[in-house]
Amino acid sequence: MSSLLNEIEALPEGLLQLDASQLHEHLGGPTLIHLQGRRSPPLFVSVLMHGNETTGWEAVRRVLSRYMLADGPDLPRSLSLFIANTAAAAEGMRHLPDQPDYNRVWPGAEDAHGDEADTMRAVVDSMAARGLFAAVDLHNNTGLNPHYGCVNVLEHASLHLASLFSRTVVYFIRPRGVASMAMTELGPSVTLECGKVGHENGTSHAAEYVDACLHLAELPQHPVPAHDIDLFHTVAIVRVPPDVAFGFGDNGYALDFTADLDRLNFRELPVGTSFGRVNNGQAMPLDVRDEGDQWVAEQYFKVEQGQLQTRLPVMPSMLTRDITVIRQDCLCYLMERYDGHLRDAG
């Protein structure tokens, strides 16, 4: 097994003074830093899984700076900090052209091969040996979205961990190979979506959350009260096929999405809501896959009089106007309300 992982037991001198673009020069690659605190086992926090999503690193810098003493941080709980794609962060990119998406190659991925996948396996193995209090993976998104938490299992402790960040919680099992899904084998685990990069409210919210987690003695094992959570379930991933030319606005592409499409995020859309215009007689221009990776585009969308419209009531999340993100990842996810399944959580 070949791993890119650096694993160390102390903060390198001056690390907290660096922004995300400077980390690769000092760390050289993915780095797992174990910091001793007054309680164990450690809280695991991962940042820069996507190199251009910098709020997590800014939040962790802020938290650790509060606890710094001359000989290191005096933490209320041990912290294992994984700083992931430093090379992409140096270039301000989600991932470099020759890299896989770092948040698609964790154990459990459909295609977990190569140095990056071995690195994520090494991280999981290290945390399995140490024990885990909880795992938090900090992300940004590019569209207009609320701050929200994601879980991969309907389990009380993970739902409490997510609802501590936001009452809006999304349950998903695809895409596979994400950090929170791998870590949920070891303990309560969440992915947190902290809004757009560079927004102070996202950084402060993430920092307050991490600090709160460091102070927790335990996570509740009882159900989250229904009035404290809005639970949604991701039922499909929406992508634009590589051979479909698209843009936003009236450009005459095969697919012209509505100029302000991301305003539809986390809104319950009625049947017939338009996502944009389909030109040149283009057939169904979307690739939509359900949890079983089955093609279901015509279950959710239709083309009627040149308009790409919803065929069912849906609620999208993570709609983005960032063409690079759409090409590298997806256009959005489709969700359904799932509050009735809270009683099924274990």
Q: Are residues 144 and 10 located together in one domain of the fold?
A: yes
Q: Give the total number of structural domains in the chain.
A: 2
Q: Mention every residue, 6+ apart, whose C-beta is less than 8 A from residue 98.
A: none
Residue 332 lies in a domain: yes
Q: Are residues 21 and 40 located together in one domain of the fold?
A: yes
Contact 289, 237 (CB under 8 A): yes
Per-residue pLDDT of the chain in tens (346 residues, 90 and over written 9): 568 899 999 999 999 999 999 999 999 999 999 999 999 999 999 999 999 999 999 999 999 999 998 788 999 999 999 999 999 999 999 999 999 999 999 999 988 789 999 999 999 999 999 999 999 999 999 888 999 999 999 999 999 999 999 999 999 999 999 999 999 999 999 999 999 999 999 999 999 999 999 999 999 989 999 889 999 999 999 999 999 999 999 989 999 999 999 999 999 999 999 999 999 877 899 999 999 999 999 999 999 999 999 999 999 999 999 999 999 999 999 999 987 766 666 6
Q: Are residues 269 and 185 located together in one domain of the fold?
A: no
Predicted TM-score (pTM) of the model is: 0.93
Contact 308, 275 (CB under 8 A): yes
Q: Mention every residue, 6+ apart, whose C-beta is less than 8 A from residue 205.
A: 147, 165, 194, 195
CATH code for the domain in which residue 126 is found? 3.40.630.10
Residue 143 lies in a domain: yes
Q: Are residues 208 and 271 located together in one domain of the fold?
A: no
Residue 269 lies in a domain: yes
Contact 75, 67 (CB under 8 A): yes
* Parent domain of 297: 235-342
Q: Are residues 86 and 139 located together in one domain of the fold?
A: yes
Torsion of CA 153, 232, 324, 286, to 10 degrees: 110
d(CA 203, CA 48): 14
